[in-house]
Amino acid sequence: MNQTKALRGKRKHYGKENLWGWIFTAPFAVVFVVFLVIPLVYAFYMSLFTYTQISGERFSGIANYVRVLTDEAFGKGLLLVVLYTIVMVPIQLGLALGLALLLDSFKKKFASVSRVVIFLPYAIPAVIGALMWGFMYSKLMGPFTTIFSLFGVQAPDFLSSNGIFGSLVNVVTWQWTGYYMIILYSALQSIPTELYESARIDGASELKIATRIKIPLVTGSLIMCTIFSLIGTLQFFTEPTILRNQAPTVIPSEYTPNMYAQALAFGYNQTNYSATVSFSLGLIVVIFSIIFMRLTRRSNGLGD
């Protein structure tokens, strides 16, 4: 009898805990369902239909997804963001890791000020940052034009067809490197200092400590930053959209898949096919992320 009462008491206790857990998570769950799940379901529903002025909206099944496979504009945009990913991800993470290691070896006061300065670009909204860089890239009033003219040299055209790739890489790298640096720096701070002291006693240099102790121990955080960077780059949208106002011939409306989806929905009134393009891009992002995570797990000996 006593055991039965004890079990009932535990069940009631756990039941109350579960109830309070559901109560506290309910607001987030409601927001998550209303503003994410329902729109996604509705967008997928729209992607299964095709609208024409003659026949109106009709069910087309996966026809729109088959169309995406042969869509030249979507293919070009996807190849371009893949190229941006290949270039930007190593640059961002390389700079972030280097800065994190550098700050980790500095004194606390100097490191705290430096962290704020490096992280500051991330605190600036992406739209404002892109507008700022658009002004700096301007051939008419940008500061680069003035600086180069002081030396009697013509400033490069950052918004030309040859310069736009590097210009966008610079904008995104400037904005996101500080964010990844903070993540990696926080991971470095969790490493016990006794490991460094033991390594120094054994005669290890600061370079060896960084490459053989620090970097291997922050691999998990580095992988997480890489996944974030992959997802963000494949969804490239804000910066080219803002700079398109200054270089409309260099950055067309279908420059990236996200820009293409927006142009289809709001420029050509093809909301059904726009939803299909968006879902196709989302599926590609998920596939890329899964492949990368599996490759990193195997390389770290974690298996499947």
pLDDT category at 40 given cuts 50, 70, 90 is confident
The reported pLDDT for the residue numbered 12 is 58
DSSP 3-state assignment of 49?
strand
The pLDDT value recorded for residue 83 is 96
> Which are the contacts of 181, defined by CB distance < 8 A and separation ≥ 6?
95, 96, 97, 99, 100, 103, 115, 118, 119
Taking residues 190-211, what's their average pLDDT? 86
Q: What is the DSSP letter of 211?
A: I
For range 16-34, the mean pLDDT: 82
What average pLDDT does this structure show over 36-50?
Answer: 90
Residue type, 65: Y
Q: Would you place residue 64 in the very low, low, confident or very high pLDDT band (cuts 50, 70, 90)? A: very high
Burial class (CB in 10 A: 0-12, 13-18, 19+), 191: middle
Q: Give percent of the chain with pLDDT exceeding 70.
A: 90
Q: Which amino acid is at 277?
A: V
Is pLDDT larger for residue 271 or for residue 54? 271
| Residues 109-132, mean pLDDT to the nearest whole number | 88
What pLDDT shows up at residue 229?
92
pLDDT of residue 107 exceeding 80, the answer is: no
Query: What burial letters (b/e) apply to 222-255, b meaning 16+ CB within 10 Å?
Result: bbbbbbbbbbbbbbbbbbbbbbbebbeebbbbbb
pLDDT at 130: 94
**Mean pLDDT value of segment 53-57:** 73
**Quick check: 137 and 251 in contact, CB under 8 A?**
no
DSSP state of 269: -
Mean of the pLDDT values across residues 42-63? 85
Q: 302 vs 73, which has greater pLDDT?
A: 73
Q: What is the mean pLDDT of residues 106-123?
A: 82
Q: Which range (50-59, 122-131, 154-163) has the least confidence?
A: 50-59
Pairing of strands 49-52, 56-59: antiparallel
Q: Mind listing the pLDDT tens digit for each residue in 210-269?
A: 888 899 999 989 999 999 999 899 889 999 999 999 999 999 999 999 999 999 999 888
pLDDT in tens, 67-94: 999 999 999 999 999 999 999 999 999 9
Average pLDDT of the residues in 113-137: 91
Measure the CA–CA gap between 52 and 185, rounded to whole angstroms. 54
For the chain, domains (ranges, CATH) are 71-299 (1.10.3720.10)
| 81 class by beta-carbon count within 10 Å (0-12 exposed, 13-18 middle, 19+ buried) | buried
Q: Are 39 and 271 in contact (CB under 8 A)?
A: no
Determine the pLDDT at residue 51: 80
Mean pLDDT of 131-142: 88
Q: Please tell me the predicted confidence (pLDDT) of residue 3.
A: 53
User: Under 8 Å CB-to-CB from 219, ≥6 apart: which residues?
Assistant: 300
